[in-house]
Structure 1
Amino acid sequence: MTNAQDMVRLNLDLSPKLNEILEELANKIGGSKSDVLRQAITLMQIMVIAKEQTNKLGIAEADQLIATEIIMPSQTSPKTHSLENLIETFGAWEDDRTTEDIIKDIYDSRTISNSDYIL
C-alpha cells in the first residue's frame, strides 16, 4: 500500500442514496468507503483497457456462461449535429429540405457589398 504521506485527499459530494450504497458496499467487503472507491476505480480501469483493446467485459456464471455483459458508451459514436437536435426538438419547418440543403441555401444567399467595408 502507498505511504500515508504520499496519498492525495479528495472531497467528494454524493447524494444521500449514493452514500448509502457506498456504506452498504463497504460493509459487504469489510472495508472502508475509500476501499470501495479504490476498487471501483480499478474496475473502471479494467473496463476502459478492455474497450480500448476491443475486448468485451462480462460477468460469468459458475458454468462460464456470460450472465451479464458490461457495455461502456462509445466515445467514437457519431454525435448528432446541434442543428439536427434543434429540428428533432422543435420539428421541421414548412419545407421538406434537408439540414444540408438549408445550410447551403443560407451560405449561398450571403452577399458582401461595398457598404460593408466603409471605414
Structure 2
Amino acid sequence: MNHQKEYKKSSRQLNEEYLDAEADVQRLNKARNTIDIAYLDFQKFAKQEREIWERLATLSKGTEAERSVHRELDFLDEEQQAINRVLSNGEEELDQTITDKTAQRNQLEEAAVQARKEENECQKSTTKN
C-alpha cells in the first residue's frame, strides 16, 4: 500500500495561485472586450462598404458593370457571414475559457481561506500548549 502523506499547500501558495488566476480572468475579460469592440468596428465598416456598393449598383443600373457590382455585393454578404461565424465560435470558446478560469479562481480562493483557517487554528493550538 502507498502510505505517502498528502502534500497540502499553504495559504500563501494558494493565495499566489488565486492572484494568478484572478489576473488571468481579468486578462481574458479584457480580451473579450477588445473582441467586442473590434466586432462593432467591423460591422460599421462592412455597413459603409455595403452602402458604397449599393450606390454603385444604383449608378450602374442598366450598364454592363451592374452585374459586377451585384457579384461584389453577394461576395460581401458571404464574407461577412464567414467572419461572423468565426467570431461567434471564437467568442464561445473564449467565454468557456473565462467560465473555467473563473471557477478555478473561486476554488483557489475558497481553498486559500480554508487553509488560512486551518493554519490559524494550528497556531492557536500550539500557543495554548
Task: Indicate the structure with greater strand content.
Answer: 1
Query: So what's the TM-score if we normalise by structure 2?
Result: 0.21
Higher relative contact order (CA 8 A, sep 6+): 2
The structure whose Rg is larger is: 2
Query: So what's the TM-score if we normalise by structure 1?
Result: 0.22
